[in-house]
Amino acid sequence: MKKKFYPERDELRGRFTRFMEVLVKHARINYVHMRDRGVPTIPLETVPEHLAAKEEMYFSGSQEAFEFEEEKLAKAFAHLSLMRREILTLLFVQEMKPSDIANRLHCSVQYVYNQKSLALKKLRQLLQKEGDEK
């Protein structure tokens, strides 16, 4: 039995093969990007004590680098998470750009913007709550 020749099938097969090659290539690239996207971490037990002490001094020093004019704002600021306090401090006190903060904290620029927005929203809520109580 002789097979019939269908040129349109060869063209479809070729287009489908090319489509699959491109799809697999992009899936591989996305996988590598997602795998490398995570921040490398190490267990605290392996960090030398003198480095851990420097990190502790860095975070505590940045919070004491300025004083709030209003005590209400200081109390509300203390209720924020460490990361949000750090981002607000770097943005408003040290006047760093969001891209520089993202590089420093090993996160995306969008994360910096999101945390800034959430921190300011929470500060507003806390200050309004305190104002309503009086």
Q: Does this model's pTM top 0.85?
A: no
In a domain, 47, yes or no: no
For the domain that residue 100 is a member of, what is the CATH number?
1.10.10.10
Q: Tell me the residue range of the domain where 88 lies.
A: 70-133
Residue-wise pLDDT for 50-90, tens only, equals 665 555 544 444 444 456 667 788 888 888 888 899 999 99
Query: How many domains does the structure of the chain reveal?
Result: 2
In a domain, 19, yes or no: yes
Query: Angle at Cα 72 formed by Cα 134 and Cα 94, nearest 5°?
Result: 160
